[in-house]
């Protein structure tokens, strides 16, 4: 079986910045409350004419440049998103067209905030098989469009952005050496948009105004995340035949600084072993891990020989991790 790794990374966030002070003008909240509870100070908001596919294209272009590849070199695009351009068809197909990938398959997956770590595992299994040499894995979200801007419990938490990676064959022993994914559908209502699907169409008699927006049970998410994050890291390391002592860096989903601190403590690791940027971007859902990885790489926090674990958790409930040998 081929060794598959990341040969190019890209990340893009829209230029429009929204601070905690900006949110204070719209809902009853405070900078102190948001910072203490979440660690967030700012987030980026896409302008009205920009779609999820547009953010993805910018991140993908960077990843292609980093890999020294052209659009026509890509054989497959996998998009992780829970805020697609349209309910159907696939936003990955829209990205394929906008990028100019002329001989390429494309599809979406939805594991909400855990989407990109799922997509990375899926993409790694294609590379090296017949017809798949280079796979583009992208997470892209515009959560600002699916939030209720009057719900202070959720609206201040999220930002928009995209991150992408090009997967290809690498030297033996390098690359993605294991992944571990898990789901618990009994918790599907913990994080959801209740309406808009076939269960409750917008024009149905049982549609209630507000059900078209993102809903989250914050306490249930906390209880889930502080266990799911360390579990995913430990289980993925077990599959790789590695121990927590071997880990050089953990790149977690940027959901909440307190979740990350608690998870790292449960892993027995200090915060110097992780990278966070949620103070700048908020929670960018399925895009948060690749954006953070790109920044960590640029800051010199990932070097040749390092063992890095990417971990994420979110709606579904879904969670998982990838172990990557650089």
Helix ranges (DSSP H) in the chain: 20-24, 31-38, 52-67, 91-99, 115-126, 218-240, 257-267, 278-281, 288-298
Residue 253 is among the residues annotated as catalytic for this protein: yes
Residue 60 is among the residues annotated as catalytic for this protein: no
45 half-sphere exposure, CB direction, 13 A CA radius: 18
Distances (CA, A) of 243 to 73, 283, 297: 36, 29, 23
Helices (H), strands (E): how many in the chain? 9, 13
The active-site residue, picked from 253, 256, 277, 322, is 253
Residue 113 is among the residues annotated as catalytic for this protein: yes
The active-site residue, picked from 113, 118, 155, 215, is 113
Q: Phi and psi dihedrals of 320, rounded to 5?
A: 175, 175
Q: Phi and psi dihedrals of 145, rounded to 5?
A: -90, -15
CB of 123 closer than 8 Å to CB of 34: no
- Cα–Cα dist 315/203, whole Å: 25
Catalytic residue IDs? 113, 253, 283
């Amino acid at each position: 079986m081929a060794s598959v790794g990341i040969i190019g990374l890209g990340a893009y966030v829209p230029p429009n910045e929204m601070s905690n002070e900006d949110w204070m003008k719209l809902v009853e909240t405070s900078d102190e409350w948001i910072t203490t509870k979440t660690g967030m100070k700012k987030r980026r908001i896409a302008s009205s004419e920009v779609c999820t596919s547009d953010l993805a294209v910018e991140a993908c272009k960077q990843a292609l440049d980093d890999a020294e590849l052209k659009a026509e070199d890509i054989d497959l695009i996998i998009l992780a998103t829970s805020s697609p351009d349209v309910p159907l068809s696939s936003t990955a197909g829209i990205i394929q067209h906008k990028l100019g990938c002329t001989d390429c398959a494309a599809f979406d997956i939805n594991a909400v905030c855990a989407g990109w770590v799922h997509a990375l595992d899926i993409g790694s299994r294609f590379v090296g098989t017949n017809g798949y040499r280079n796979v583009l894995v992208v997470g892209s979200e515009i959560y600002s469009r699916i939030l209720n801007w009057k719900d202070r419990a959720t609206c201040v938490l999220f930002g928009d952005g995209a991150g992408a990676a090009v997967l290809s064959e690498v030297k033996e022993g390098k690359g993605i050496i294991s992944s571990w994914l898990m789901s618990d559908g009994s918790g599907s209502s913990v994080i959801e948009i209740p309406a808009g699907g076939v269960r409750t169409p917008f024009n149905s008699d049982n549609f209630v105004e507000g059900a078209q927006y993102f809903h989250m049970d914050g306490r249930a998410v906390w209880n889930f995340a502080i266990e799911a994050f360390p579990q995913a890291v430990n289980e993925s390391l077990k599959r790789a035949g590695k121990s927590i002592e071997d880990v050089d860096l953990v790149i977690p989903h940027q959901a909440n600084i307190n979740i990350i601190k608690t998870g790292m403590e449960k892993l027995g690791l200090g915060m110097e072993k992780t990278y966070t940027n949620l103070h700048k971007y908020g929670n960018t859902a399925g895009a948060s891990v690749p954006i953070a990885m790109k920044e960590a790489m640029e800051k010199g926090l990932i070097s040749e020989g390092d063992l890095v674990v990417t971990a994420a958790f979110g709606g579904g409930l879904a969670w998982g991790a990838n172990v990557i040998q650089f």
